[in-house]
């Protein structure tokens, strides 16, 4: 019997990459949970059915489950039925801005859905490594208190203590998170608690900008994917505050999947990792424009809005030293330039939803 992976948000960027990696590279039988809620949150442009069809076409034996993670009884029944060797939880309401308009949907999905999965795992499959896609937004806007220096195309940390980026011991308290950030804090702490209190093999991956060619980027979520889409279509990209010099670290979904595989092979209980591209894969919006233009051959059309998003980070990149220390065989393999090139190529050939 092959090992079995249960992955939520399976038709999304991370879920689909994880499903593909575990199936092709590790020989897992994959059960994917997704009900295309992204299209509900973001409209037709957020639709991920095309990705679901791709998985069903390309992965032999892939099993799709049309299930909402807010369905507590349904989640428990599925975990009891599948008894997965590992669980990757990548389903979420992922947008800062959208959360304010749908606070109950946001919290019930992000916090309640995570609790449903954790308790189902504890009851039916407690030995299975449980990997939770958290977010760097659990730190709220506290990273904006780090002293910064302004450079030609970006902001950067002025304090040498942050030369490697933000580490996992950074405060998550007493800052503005957005309702999305708050719901993800609740989920993050609960995943830790099921590890620390119950001894389950759990980890929270506090992702930065997770990206790659299979992202259905929209304005409210999916920075590089949406930027490239605007570039190729000649559509105006709106820059919200900070002179377009705000910095994000970008990690390709493949490198996310590779780290998850490393954790599943040697799990720990209640662990936390800042999962990003690190300083080497950091990029400002202005810098991303130039890279996209390089690969598309088109000028980026953009407009500046002199109002930053609430709780947005001026500069954020992850300190990867803990991840590399715990899992020395893992490292970043996809550069930010390679990633943007792949996104450009993918949008050019993306099938209709």
Tens digits of per-residue pLDDT, 190-213? 999 999 999 999 999 999 889 998
Distance separating alpha carbons of residues 22 and 15, to the nearest angstrom: 11
Tens digits of per-residue pLDDT, 230-246? 999 999 999 999 999 99
Mark residue 297 as left, alpha or beta (left: phi above 0; alpha: psi -120 to 50; beta: remaining): left
Per the document, the length of the chain is: 353
Whole-prediction pTM value?
A: 0.94
Provide the pLDDT confidence category of residue 351 given band limits of 50, 70 and 90.
Answer: low
Distance separating alpha carbons of residues 177 and 258, to the nearest angstrom: 29
- Listed in sequence order, the residues at least 6 apart from 338 whose beta carbon sits closer than 8 Å to its beta carbon are 252
Phi, psi of 52 (to 5 degrees): -60, -45
Residue 63 has a pLDDT of 98
Tens digits of per-residue pLDDT, 121-142? 999 999 999 999 999 999 999 9
Provide the pLDDT confidence category of residue 58 given band limits of 50, 70 and 90.
Answer: very high
4-349 — its CATH code? 3.40.50.720
Residue 352 has a pLDDT of 57
Q: What share of the chain in percent tops pLDDT 70?
A: 99
- SS3 for 197? coil
Residue 96 has a pLDDT of 79
Torsion angle in degrees (nearest 10) through CA of 92, 97, 102, 108: 30
Mean per-residue pLDDT, 292-311: 93
Q: Identify whether the C-beta of residue 42 lies closer than 8 Å to the C-beta of residue 218.
A: yes
Q: What is the mean pLDDT of the chain?
A: 95
Of 22 and 50, which is predicted with more confidence?
22
5, two tokens: 């992976």
216, two tokens: 């259905």
Distance separating alpha carbons of residues 314 and 248, to the nearest angstrom: 9
Cβ neighbourhood burial of 169 (10 Å; 0-12, 13-18, 19+): exposed
Provide the pLDDT confidence category of residue 319 given band limits of 50, 70 and 90.
Answer: very high
Q: Is the pLDDT of residue 353 over 70?
A: no
Strands lying side by side in the sheet with 4-8: 63-65, 29-33, 4-8, 86-89, 130-135, 202-207, 271-275
């Amino acid at each position: 019997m092959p090992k079995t992976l249960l992955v939520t948000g399976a038709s999304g960027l991370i879920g689909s990459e994880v499903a593909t990696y575990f199936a092709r590279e590790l020989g897992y039988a994959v059960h994917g949970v997704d009900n295309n809620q992204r299209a509900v949150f973001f409209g037709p442009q957020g639709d991920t059915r095309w990705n679901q069809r791709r998985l069903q076409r390309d992965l032999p034996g892939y099993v799709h489950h049309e299930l909402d993670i807010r369905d507590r009884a349904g989640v428990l029944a599925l975990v009891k039925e599948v008894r997965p060797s590992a669980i990757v939880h990548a389903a979420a309401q992922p947008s800062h801005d959208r959360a304010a308009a749908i606070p109950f949907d946001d919290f019930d999905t992000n916090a309640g859905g995570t609790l449903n999965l954790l308790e189902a795992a504890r009851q039916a499959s407690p030995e299975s490594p449980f990997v939770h896609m958290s977010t760097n937004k659990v730190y709220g806007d506290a990273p904006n208190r780090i002293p910064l220096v302004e450079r030609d195309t970006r902001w950067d940390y002025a304090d040498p203590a942050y030369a490697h980026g933000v580490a996992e011991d950074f405060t998550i308290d007493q800052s503005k998170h957005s309702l999305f950030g708050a719901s993800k804090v609740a989920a993050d702490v609960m995943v830790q608690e099921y590890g620390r209190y119950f001894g389950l093999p759990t980890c929270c991956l506090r992702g930065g900008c997770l990206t790659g060619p299979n992202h259905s980027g929209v304005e409210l979520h999916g920075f590089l994917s949406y930027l490239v889409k605007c570039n190729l279509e000649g559509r105006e990209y709106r820059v919200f505050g900070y002179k377009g010099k705000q910095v994000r670290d970008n990690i390709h979904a493949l490198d996310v999947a590779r780290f998850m595989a490393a954790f599943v092979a040697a799990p720990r209980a209640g662990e936390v990792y800042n999962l990003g591209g690190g300083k080497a894969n950091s990029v400002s919006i202005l810098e991303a424009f130039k890279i996209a233009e390089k690969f598309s051959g088109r000028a980026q059309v953009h407009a500046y809005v002199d109002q930053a998003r609430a709780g947005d980070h001026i500069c954020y990149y992850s300190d990867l030293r803990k991840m590399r220390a715990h899992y020395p065989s893992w490292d970043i393999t996809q550069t930010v330039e390679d990633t943007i090139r792949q996104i450009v190529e993918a949008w050019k050939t993306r099938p209709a939803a």
